[in-house]
Structure formats: structure tokens, C-alpha cells
């Protein structure tokens, strides 16, 4: 009993700790500018306003950043997940020469700090006309996310008994049909998790977006946020309002997929 | 329904050879059981027939067609997996009809066949259920239903009953036998359970270490095991073995105990093993032994005796009161003895055991 209580309290502390910045974001976004510095540190302002939100939506370039981010993150998530599903399946089911080396190589790609790679990536993309374009960002994000996403998908496929697709193949399916009709539906939780993971990773990526994109036309939202920082002042209210708005798609996305994240669909497939 | 022919089949993984020189002909409608301890290659052989494992050398024919390079779907066989391998996202009806739908059968045909199969297996009321809402026995039936629904050339069973509890296993065993009699389809059944092998098979293929040890009817394997492995594997409790040598028509045990052998056995044989089944040992006149353990089975008693330095099991329906430490005399009827030479092969064809 005491153990459960301690356990719960610990979890509560952790949740409070991790959610507090989000709360602060919300708090500042609804604080009128004149109260921001005058009221000192308090948990909730004496007067709230939605002015920052309406300004951000109507008078800033934020909607464009938002749209760009949506395109980049969405496309990256879809491309990465398709590639990772195929790759993960191969890693999970097939024996082939050099598999260990391939897996090792995938891991090695994850070892370098992104900053190191910015210059070479720029050098590669520039002659291809992929700098300052959303397509370029999508290519780079996909390339960087595929290795980890493949491992993620491999883990999910490993959890699906190979008997199932063997049964399908004996029933008359070829391997790809078995993959499509049996394994993919059962892998939905994994696919959803991968989609979500890659989407959020791309959504919040900053370094490449900053380096590869110049000008507000193609800027994604994290880069756009910097436009609220001017030479002489930072418009915290608007910046935070934009931040709150940017949280919405990520939250929606997770609401949509959380059903799959917690659901164990393979239950009952094999001996229960 | 089909005949099958396996010629010099081999399976290697790199340098590791798991199956060597497998030769087997299977008649139309025959029920063949592959039996052996785990790791003997029986499941691999089944999977090679199914097309789930490549054949490293040799050939497998189904109805005079070499299927070595055919994918599973082109071999027209059905398989029941140990894990049942039901598709969790489909209900029972969809699980059973998946193969028909892949073959683009029309809807009325599918409905008919699913109805037939589910009636045969008593699954009529469960067609809408998902696998996770079924009990182990029901899942097993659905797996069988999925196999019979499309009337394949042959059925393959990969230890289909080993996840069931003992009573259900007994019941399903009888049902499989009945089903086979009703459908008459060629069947290959893999198990490590020699009781299943004995009760189900038309012919048993006993396997060990990647080799076929003996092929024959259940009683042939029981009465005339070809070697020490088959003798020890078939039958429960297992056959008793005593090591020794044959001198002047007499078996001499390690401790010097002598036992006359029946006519027709060799006169001399260095390094021999004598075998006798626990149910053929008689209590009464004979060699002195000491009771070490008494296991009542209800139907009878299994006695563990120490005889000539070796553990000896005796199965008797005689309900006499024995306790560990008691001295008994056991008789080893000459007609029930099996003799194996140094290379563990059966030497003389022993006459049929006494009833």
C-alpha cells in the first residue's frame, strides 16, 4: 500500500516537473503585455487575454510557417514510415549476407551530432537545387529518421509471430500479399508509433531548417519562432502563443494514435 | 489427395547439416507421423515439404511433380501450426475463408465451404468471433477448419496438439483420426509425443539426429524396433536396457549375471545391449532385484527396480503391496527380449512378444 502511494507520488512529481514548462508557455501566452513584467512571478496573471493569439494568426507569418511545417513533417513521417516498414520487415524476417554489418552501419549513422553534418549536407544539396526548398528538408529528415525508425519497426515486426505469414503463404498468398494483408494490419500500432515519433522529430527540428532555409517563404515553424526575436526585444506573448498553437498538431496526432500505442493487437494470435 | 515422394533430401544451414539423405514414399491418403525428440529435424522436414524451408539437395515430389522450387502457395497443401497461427484481426469465418478469398472463389462457394467445414468441426456458433475470444481447443479447431476448407492435396500438422491440456489433447487426437477417415486426405503429422504417433499413424517415421531411423506401422516399431534409439523412444514407460555381451548363446551382464537367450540369437557378440519392455517383465521367479520406487498409475504400478546394477522398470497390473527396499524376483521371458549390437542395431529378429 505504502509502496503504491510512494509510486504514485513519484509519478505525479515527474508529471508536474515535465508539464510545468508547457504550463508556463500557456500562462505567458495569455498574459497581457503590460502585466508580463509588472506582476512579478505568479502562477496565473490577474487578467488574461487572447490578443497574442489573434495577432499571431492574423498579422504574422505564422500560418505560413505552420503550413510549411505540416507539409514537411507529414511527408517526412509518411515517407520514413513506409521505408522503415519495408526495412524493418527485412531485418526482422530475412537472413541475408551482411545483415549484421548493415545493422551496424545504421547504428553508426546515429552517432554523429547533427551540427557536424550541416556543412556537408548543404554542399550536397546546393548543386541539386534542394536548399531553400521544402523537398530538400523532407529528403534530409527522411534520411536521418529512417535508421532509427527501421529499428523501431523491426522491434514491432519481431513481436508478430512468423507463423502468421507462413500460414498466409500456405493459404495461397505470396510474401508481399502476406505482408500487406496480415503483417501490416497487425503492425498498425508499430506504424502509428513510428509515424508519431518521426512526425514530432521533424516538427521540432531546428538546425537543418535554420541552415538550409533562407527567407520566410519556406521557413518551418521552429525557425519562424525566431522571427519573434528582434534585435532589441523579444515579443514573449506572441512567441508563446505561436508555441501553443504549434503544440496542437502534435497533440492531435498523439490523440489519434494513442489507441494503437496501447493496444496489443496480437493477443489471441497464438497460444494465449 | 496425393502421393508424395522424398528422395535423398538434405538440409544444411551453412556447414551445419540438420537433415541427411531422407528417403520416404507416402501413399495416397496415408497418415504419416514424423516422430522424434526435439532437434531431430522432423519439423524442418515438414517445412521443406510445405515450402517454408528450402531444400538443400535431393528432391520432393507431390503427385509426380517436383516441388523443390515451388513457393508454398503453388503446392496446394494446408498446414496446421503448433501456435495455430490464426489471423488475429479476422473473425473465425474470415480466417477459414482466407485461402478461398485469395483464390478469388465466388461468395456463395465460400459461404458453402465455410459452413461445411464449421459444421464438421462444431464451430457454427463461433463464426463471428475473433481468435482472442476463443479457448485453446476452439482455436485448434479453427486452425483445422482453415486447413480443410479448401480440400488441399495434403495436410501437414506441426505439433498441433502440444499447446492443449491432456484431456483436450486426447479428444482432439480422436477427432483428427476421425477427420482423416472422413476426408481420406494424405496427412503428415509431426509430434514428439510417441503416444500420438502410435495412436494416429498408419505409418510412423522415427527420426533422430537428422536421419530417419525406422519407417513402419506403429506395431512394427513397437515389436521390432530397428535400433536402440527407436526401442527407447517408442513405448511408455520406455524399454529397459542392460549392457553386456553374448557368450555361448547366453547374455552376460556387466556384473556377471547370466541370462539364456532364445533360439536364433547369435552365439557370441561382444558389446551388446539387451532390451525388454517394462510390460513384458514378469514378477515371480527369476533374477533378484530390489524395489527402489513405486509409482501407482491407477491402472497398474510402475516399479523401479535395481537389477544387476541398472535401473529396471516394470509395469504390472498386479496390485501387490510393495515398498522401496523390498526384494523381488523378476522374470525376463526369452521371447520378449530384444538384442542390439555394438553399433546399436537390432541383431536377431526376436519372435513376437508373449501376450
Which set of grid coordinates corresponds to residue A16?
508536474
d(CA B2, CA B223): 30
Decide if B279 contacts B315 (C-beta within 8 A): yes
Residue B47: C-alpha distances to residues A66, A177, A215, B179 (Å): 54, 20, 61, 22
The answer as to whether A22 is a domain residue is no
The chain-wide mean pLDDT, for chain B, equals 90
Establish if A55 belongs to a structural domain.
no
Residue A14 is assigned to a structural domain of this protein: no
Q: What residues of chain B lie within 8 A of the CB of A172, using their CB?
A: 73, 99, 102-103
CB-nearest to B136 from A173, A174, A271 is: A271
Q: Which of A41-50, B168-177, B179-188 has the lowest mean pLDDT?
A: A41-50
Query: Which residues lie below 8 Å from residue B320, measured CB to CB, with a gap of 6+?
Result: B283
Q: CA A60 from chain center: how many Å?
A: 25
Q: Which residue has the higher pLDDT, B233 or A59?
A: B233
In a domain, A27, yes or no: no
The mean pLDDT value for A151-176 works out to 90
Asked if B83 and A270 come within 8 Å (Cβ–Cβ), the reply is yes
Range of the domain at A170: 60-262
3 state DSSP class of B316: strand
**Among the listed residues A129, A132, A31, A6, the one whose alpha carbon sits nearest the alpha carbon of residue A72:** A132
How many Å apart are CA A29 and CA A239, to the nearest integer? Answer: 8
Nearest chain A Cα distance for residue B62, angstroms? 15
**CATH number (domain holding residue A206):** 1.10.3720.10
Point out which residues pair with B203 in neighbouring strands: B32
Cell of B78: 494446408
Q: Does domain B237-340 have CATH number 3.40.640.10?
A: no
CA distances in angstroms from B273 to A22, B30, B267, listed in the order given? 80, 34, 14
Question: A89: pLDDT confidence band, cut at 50, 70 and 90?
Answer: very high
- What pLDDT was estimated at residue B300? 87
Q: Is the pLDDT of residue A231 over 80?
A: no
Note whether residue A19 is domain-resident: no
Q: Looking at CA atoms only, how far is residue B256 from chain A in angstroms?
A: 53
Percentage of residues in chain A with pLDDT exceeding 90?
Answer: 27
Please check the confidence at residue A193 and state whether its pLDDT lies above 90.
Answer: no
- Second-level CATH architecture of B4-228: 3-Layer(aba) Sandwich (3.40)
Least confident of A84-98, A168-182, A203-217, B22-36: A203-217
Tell me: the pLDDT tens digits for B190-222?
Answer: 999 999 999 999 999 999 999 999 999 999 999
Put residue B251 in one of left, alpha, beta given phi > 0 → left and psi -120 to 50 → alpha.
beta
pLDDT tens-digit series, residues B287-304:
889 999 999 988 889 999
- With contacts defined as CB-CB under 8 Å, which chain A residues touch B163? 271
Residue identified by cell 505482408 is A179
End-to-end distance of chain B based on CA atoms, in angstroms?
A: 38
CA dist., res. B336 & res. B319, Å (int): 22
Q: How far is A159 from chain B (nearest CA, A)?
A: 13
Q: Are B347 and B339 in contact (CB under 8 A)?
A: yes
B60: pLDDT confidence band, cut at 50, 70 and 90? very high
Greater confidence (A250 vs B276) lies with B276
Chain B CB within 8 Å of residue A159 CB = no
Sequence-distant (6+) residues with CB within 8 A of A9 are none
d(CA B102, CA A172): 6
Out of A200-214, B79-93, B99-113, least confident range: A200-214
Q: What is the pLDDT of residue A268?
A: 38
Distance from CA of B111 to the nearest CA of A (A): 17
Contact assignment for B85 to A171 by CB distance below 8 Å: no
Closest chain A residue to the Cα of B90, Cα to Cα: A182
The predicted pLDDT at position A106 comes to 87
Which residue in B79, B146, B163 is closest to A271 by CB distance?
A: B163
Residue B82 per-residue DSSP state: T
Distance CA B239, CA A229 (A): 88
**Cα(A189)–Cα(A260) distance, integer angstroms:** 4
First and final C-alpha spacing in chain A: 31
Pairwise CA distance, residues B318 & B285, whole Å: 15
Inform me whether the C-beta atom of residue B130 falls under 8 Å from chain A C-beta atoms: yes
Q: What would the mean pLDDT of B315-329 be, rounded to a whole number?
A: 87
Does A158 fall in a domain?
yes
Is A272 close to B132, i.e. CB distance below 8 A? yes
DSSP collapsed to 3 states, A28-57: HHCCCHHHHCCCCCCCCCCCCCCHHHHHHH
In a domain, A268, yes or no: no
Q: Under an 8 A CB cutoff, do A170 and B130 touch? A: no
For residues B203 and B33, give the distance between their C-alpha atoms in angstroms, rounded to a whole number: 7
- The answer to whether the CB of B42 falls within 8 A of the CB of B208 is no
Backbone angles phi, psi at B321, to 5 degrees: -85, 105
Question: Which residues of A fall within a CB distance of 8 Å from B139?
Answer: 268, 272
Q: How large is the ipTM?
A: 0.85
Helices (H), B149-266: 166-183, 194-200, 218-223, 228-233
Cβ neighbors of B138 (< 8 A, separation 6 or more) are B123, B126
Residue B354 clears pLDDT 60, i.e. is over it: no
Question: Helix, strand or coil for residue B247?
Answer: strand
Q: For position A252, what pLDDT does the model report?
A: 83
**Is the distance from CB of A157 to CB of A183 less than 8 angstroms?**
yes
Total domain count for chain A?
A: 1
Top mean-pLDDT range of A35-39, A44-48, A119-123, A203-207 = A119-123
Q: Which one is predicted more confidently, A250 or B78? A: B78
Yes or no, beta carbons of B79 and A272 under 8 Å apart: no
Q: How far apart are CA A85 and CA B63, in angstroms?
A: 39
Mutate to test the interface with A, among B83, B91, B151, B156 (most CBs of A within 10 A): B83
Residue A200 domain-assigned (yes or no): yes
- Determine contact: A134 vs chain B, CB below 8 A: no
Å from B98 to nearest chain A CA? 7
Q: How far apart are CA A211 and CA A118, in angstroms?
A: 7
Q: Report, as an integer, the average pLDDT of B184-188.
A: 92
CA distances from B56 to B8, B11, B24, B64, B211 (A): 10, 5, 16, 20, 15
Close Cβ partners of A178 (under 8 Å, ≥ 6 residues apart):
A164, A165, A168, A169
- What's the distance, CA A77 to chain centroid? 8
d(CA B68, CA B59): 6
* Nearest-angstrom CA–CA distance, A56 and A62: 6
User: What residue ranges do the domains of chain B occupy?
Assistant: 4-228, 237-340
Chain-chain contact of A170 with B102 (C-beta, under 8 angstroms): no
Amino acid at each position: 500500500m505504502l509502496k503504491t502511494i510512494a509510486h504514485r507520488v513519484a509519478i505525479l512529481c515527474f508529471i508536474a516537473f515535465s508539464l510545468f514548462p508547457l504550463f508556463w508557455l500557456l500562462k505567458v501566452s495569455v498574459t497581457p503585455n503590460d502585466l508580463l513584467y509588472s506582476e512579478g512571478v505568479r502562477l496565473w496573471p490577474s487578467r488574461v487575454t487572447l490578443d497574442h493569439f489573434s495577432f499571431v494568426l492574423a498579422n504574422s507569418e505564422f500560418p505560413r510557417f505552420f503550413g510549411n511545417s505540416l507539409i514537411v513533417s507529414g511527408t517526412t513521417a509518411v515517407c520514413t514510415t513506409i521505408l522503415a516498414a519495408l526495412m524493418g520487415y527485412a531485418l526482422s524476417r530475412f537472413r541475408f549476407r551482411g545483415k549484421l554489418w548493415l545493422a551496424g552501419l545504421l547504428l553508426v549513422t546515429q552517432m554523429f551530432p547533427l551540427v557536424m553534418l550541416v556543412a556537408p549536407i548543404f554542399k550536397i544539396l546546393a548543386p541539386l537545387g534542394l536548399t531553400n526548398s521544402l523537398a530538400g528538408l523532407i529528403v534530409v529528415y527522411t534520411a536521418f529518421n529512417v535508421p532509427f525508425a527501421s529499428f523501431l519497426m523491426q522491434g514491432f515486426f519481431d513481436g508478430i509471430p512468423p507463423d502468421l505469414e507462413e500460414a498466409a503463404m500456405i493459404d495461397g498468398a505470396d510474401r508481399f500479399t502476406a505482408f500487406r494483408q496480415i503483417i501490416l494490419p497487425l503492425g498498425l500500432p508499430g506504424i502509428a508509433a513510428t509515424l508519431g515519433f518521426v512526425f514530432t522529430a521533424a516538427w521540432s527540428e531546428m538546425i537543418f531548417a535554420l541552415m538550409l532555409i533562407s527567407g520566410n517563404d519556406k521557413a518551418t515553424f521552429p525557425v519562424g519562432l525566431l522571427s519573434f526575436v528582434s534585435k532589441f526585444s523579444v515579443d514573449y506573448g506572441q512567441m508563446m502563443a505561436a508555441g501553443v498553437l504549434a503544440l496542437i498538431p502534435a497533440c492531435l496526432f498523439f490523440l489519434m494514435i494513442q489507441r494503437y500505442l496501447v493496444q496489443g493487437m496480437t493477443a489471441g494470435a497464438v497460444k494465449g | 489427395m496425393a502421393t508424395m515422394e522424398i528422395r535423398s533430401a538434405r538440409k544444411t544451414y551453412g556447414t551445419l547439416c540438420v537433415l541427411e539423405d531422407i528417403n520416404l514414399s507416402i501413399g495416397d491418403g496415408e497418415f504419416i507421423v514424423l516422430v522424434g525428440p526435439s532437434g531431430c529435424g522432423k519439423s524442418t522436414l515438414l517445412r521443406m515439404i510445405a515450402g517454408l524451408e528450402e531444400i538443400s539437395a535431393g528432391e520432393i515430389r507431390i503427385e509426380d511433380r517436383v516441388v523443390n522450387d515451388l513457393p508454398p502457395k503453388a503446392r496446394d497443401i494446408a498446414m496446421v501450426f503448433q501456435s495455430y497461427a490464426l489471423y488475429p484481426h479476422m473473425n473465425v469465418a474470415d480466417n477459414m475463408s482466407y485461402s478461398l478469398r485469395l483464390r478469388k472463389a465466388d461468395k456463395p462457394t465460400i459461404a458453402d465451404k465455410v459452413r461445411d467445414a464449421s459444421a464438421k468441426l462444431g464451430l457454427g456458433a463461433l463464426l463471428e468471433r475473433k481468435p482472442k475470444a476463443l479457448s485453446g481447443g476452439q482455436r485448434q479447431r479453427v486452425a483445422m477448419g482453415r486447413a480443410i476448407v479448401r480440400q488441399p492435396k495434403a495436410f501437414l500438422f506441426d505439433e498441433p496438439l502440444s499447446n492443449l491440456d491432456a484431456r483436450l489433447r486426447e479428444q482432439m487426437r480422436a477427432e483428427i483420426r476421425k477427420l482423416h477417415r472422413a476426408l481420406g486426405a494424405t496427412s503428415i503429422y509431426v509430434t514428439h509425443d510417441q503416444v500420438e504417433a502410435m495412436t494416429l499413424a498408419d505409418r510412423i517415421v522415427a527420426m533422430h539426429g537428422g536421419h530417419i531411423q525406422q519407417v513402419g506401422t506403429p506395431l512394427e516399431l513397437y515389436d521390432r524396433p530397428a535400433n536402440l534409439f527407436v526401442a527407447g523412444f517408442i513405448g511408455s514407460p520406455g524399454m529397459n536396457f542392460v549392457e553386456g555381451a553374448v557368450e555361448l548363446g547366453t547374455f552376460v551382464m556387466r556384473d556377471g549375471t547370466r541370462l539364456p537367450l532364445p533360439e536364433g540369437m547369435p552365439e557370441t557378440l561382444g558389446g551388446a545391449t539387451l532390451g525388454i519392455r517394462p510390460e513384458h517383465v514378469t514378477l515371480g521367479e527369476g533374477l533378484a532385484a530390489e524395489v527402489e520406487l513405486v509409482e501407482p498409475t491407477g491402472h497398474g504400478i510402475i516399479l523401479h527396480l535395481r537389477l544387476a546394477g541398472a535401473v529396471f522398470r516394470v509395469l504390472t497390473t498386479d496390485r501387490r503391496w510393495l515398498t522401496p527396499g523390498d526384494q523381488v524376483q523378476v522374470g525376463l521371458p526369452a521371447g520378449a527380449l530384444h538384442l542390439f549390437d555394438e553399433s546399436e542395431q537390432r541383431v536377431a529378429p526376436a519372435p513376437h512378444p508373449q501376450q
